[in-house]
Amino acid sequence: MLGNKLRRSREPWWERALVTGASTGIGRAMAVQLAAAGVDLVLVARSGDRLEELAAELRAAGGQLDVEVVEADLCDPEGLAAVEKRVEAEEAPVDLVVNNAGLGYEGPFYDQDGAEVAETIGVNVVALTRLTHAALRTMADRGRGQVILVSSMASLQGMPMTAVYSATKAFITSLGEALYEEHKGTGVTVTTVLPGLTRTEFHQRGRWNLDGWPSVGWQSAEAVASEALRAASRARPEVVTGRHNKVLALLSSKSPRGLRRSIIGWAARRN
Ligand SMILES: NC(=O)c1ccc[n+]([C@@H]2O[C@H](COP(=O)([O-])OP(=O)(O)OC[C@H]3O[C@@H](n4cnc5c(N)ncnc54)[C@H](OP(=O)(O)O)[C@@H]3O)[C@@H](O)[C@H]2O)c1
């Protein structure tokens, strides 16, 4: 279905997309939807087996589709360098880079594991920035290309108990906003995506305690992926996915920072 929606979109057509974090969740859903729209793929994640399985599924469904698998840990300098190299390659060039891989652990900052703090910053900030840099440098030369940055609603506010995660996402939203303006009129665009609560493996991996979290407003990975790709195909600077999140983002933008901080702090302490 999204294939049809993308085909009807007014914006440039991607030939090959590189998607980080394509083994599961939002990244996987984006890969499936891009494949349905006839876009060749480079799938990136650590779980090579899951990527190979997905690649086989997409090839079987997509006829002529070219699907590559790059098994890489974005926290590992060698893994990151390999993905950077693929982004910059002249052969079978990538014209859409989806920086989706991300993670975040819940818990008081003082109590967090140092290695997990470094992993969060390593994937969400360092890898995302280096892959975006590699993409934009290459795309600027070609005068064509698009980058998607998957941020979060958590970027709109410092979040107690997920302080490092929300800080990394604030970095992404800020980076995306600046880069969109830097590239205006060049044929290259950067779209930042702000999902809210989405049903994926994310919370389980990050040991989030979801007791007391709202049961409304959750989206599926497919719905987030579809809104993200549509926004990018229309060269939008930013998209908050889901009606519920759009309302929350609007309220957040209208309320004084101190009030927002107090409400979120109170909710976190209560939890
Ligand atoms: N779920 C939500 O509620 C939510 C809300 C807002 C924003 N987001 C954002 O959406 C993005 C996707 O998250 P998701 O919900 O789809 O989570 P997910 O189901 O946990 O998927 C995360 C993906 O990132 C990959 N990844 C993690 N660490 C990696 C590393 N070191 N190297 C390479 N790949 C790595 C994982 O693959 P491997 O484990 O195979 O490496 C996996 O494919 C993230 O940036 C997240 O912050 C999620």
Tokens representing 154 are 């958590």
Q: Is 165 a catalytic residue?
A: yes
Q: Which amino acid is at 79?
A: G
Out of 3-17, 32-46, 69-83, 192-206, least confident range:
3-17
Residue 91 backbone dihedrals phi, psi, to 5 degrees: -80, 135
Domain boundaries, the chain: 2-270
Q: Which atom of ligand 1 is nearest to the CA of 154?
A: 6
Contact criterion met (CB below 8 Å) for 92 and 15 = no
**11 SS3 class:** coil
Query: Does the structure show a pLDDT above 80 at 271?
Result: no
83/79 Cα distance (integer angstroms): 6
Best mutation site among 100, 159, 191 for ligand 1 pocket (most ligand atoms within 8 Å of CB):
100
The mean pLDDT value for 228-237 works out to 96
Q: pTM for this one? A: 0.95
Query: Does the structure show a pLDDT above 50 at 192?
Result: yes
Tokens representing 156 are 């709109």
191/126 Cα distance (integer angstroms): 18
Task: Determine the pLDDT at residue 9.
Answer: 47
178/213 Cα distance (integer angstroms): 32
pLDDT in tens, 64-80: 899 999 999 999 999 99
Query: Does the structure show a pLDDT above 50 at 1?
Result: no
The secondary element (H helix, E strand) that includes residue 60 is helix 48-62
Best mutation site among 41, 200, 208, 240 for ligand 1 pocket (most ligand atoms within 8 Å of CB):
200
For domain 2-270, give the CATH superfamily. Answer: NAD(P)-binding Rossmann-like Domain (3.40.50.720)
Residue 236 backbone dihedrals phi, psi, to 5 degrees: -75, 145
Tokens representing 106 are 């819940």
198 close to ligand 1 (CB < 6 Angstrom): yes
Contact criterion met (CB below 8 Å) for 9 and 233 = yes
Cα atoms in the 13 Å half-sphere on the side-chain side of 40: 11
Residues forming a β-bridge with 40:
16
Residue 68 backbone dihedrals phi, psi, to 5 degrees: -100, 155
What is the distance, to the nearest Å, from the Cα of residue 39 to the centroid of all Cα atoms in its chain? 18
The mean pLDDT value for 177-197 works out to 97
Ligand 1 centroid to Cα of residue 226, in Å, is 17
Direct distance between the N- and C-terminal alpha carbons of the chain, in angstroms, rounded to an integer: 39
157/29 Cα distance (integer angstroms): 27
Residue 245 backbone dihedrals phi, psi, to 5 degrees: -70, -35
Nearest CA to ligand 1 atom 20: 202
